[in-house]
Amino acid sequence: MTAGKDLKDASRAIIMLHGRGGSPEDMLPLTEELGIDSFAVFLPRAERNTWYPYSFLVPPEQNQPWLDSALEMIAGLENELLSSGIASENIYFLGFSQGACLSLEYTARSAKRYGGVIAFSGGLIGDIIEREKYKGDFLQTPVFLGSSDPDPHIPAKRVKESGKLLASLNADTFMEIYPGMGHIISREEIDTVNRIFFSAYNF
């Protein structure tokens, strides 16, 4: 599913990834809340509404081949955007829950300058964070991690560990842990993301 500007008319693009049991349609209201009117918006759909079957905290091999398939799908979308003439520094990634985990995992495995990475309730994938899997240089790409403490699916400890690793890859990391927020995207998070990422674009 796509929204926003036609790709041929856009100079920026954002890939928005839904959570487990969700759909692209669930993410559409966010396109009205964020200052991305000038962006081409890509909202891919997971088969059976899940990107991978088990928790993001299990050993990665338990989520194969679904995890690799999801990461390859994102790579295909990025290549489509690059081929259309949109530079990587004008490509943004946003996800909620499972989609947030994928956004972080994909960009951290081959870090480079992106427009930004936004993770609502997510962390890097695996039973442990294997530092050797992550490489490259974010070149101060802004990255936002927002989550609740407690969260029934996303331990705050993993969010903090992920933020630390991303910073080690030279990401300009913004992290907010909200006491008792729950597994949602809050108004405060949306306002923060707009201020950090989109204040210059129709907002």
pLDDT tens-digit map of 15-47: 999 999 999 999 999 999 999 999 999 999 999
Report yes or no on 203 lying in a domain. Answer: no
Domain encompassing residue 155: 2-198
Report yes or no on 117 lying in a domain. Answer: yes
CATH classification of the domain holding 10: 3.40.50.1820
Q: Is 125 in a helix, a strand, or coil?
A: coil
pLDDT of residue 201: 64
Which tens digit of pLDDT belongs to each residue from 114-144? 999 999 999 999 999 999 999 999 999 999 9
Into how many domains does the chain fold?
1
CA 160 vs. chain centroid, Å, equals: 16
Report yes or no on 70 lying in a domain. Answer: yes
Which tens digit of pLDDT belongs to each residue from 151-182? 999 999 999 999 999 999 999 999 999 999 99
pLDDT of residue 202 exceeding 70: no
The per-residue pLDDT of the chain, averaged, comes to 96
pLDDT of residue 203 exceeding 50: no
Residues 67-93: b if buried by 16+ CB within 10 A, e if exposed: beebbebbeebbeebeeeebeeebbbb
Report yes or no on 152 lying in a domain. Answer: yes
Report yes or no on 83 lying in a domain. Answer: yes
Q: Is 62 in a helix, a strand, or coil?
A: helix
pLDDT of residue 199: 86
Mean pLDDT over 86-96 rounds to 98
Q: Is 50 in a helix, a strand, or coil?
A: coil
How many Å apart are CA 166 and CA 172, to the nearest integer? 8
The dihedral built from the CA positions of residue 166, 168, 169 and 174, taken in this order, carries a sign that is positive
pLDDT of residue 80 exceeding 70: yes
In this structure, the dihedral spanned by the alpha carbons of residues 76, 14, 192 and 177, taken in order and rounded to 10 degrees, is -20
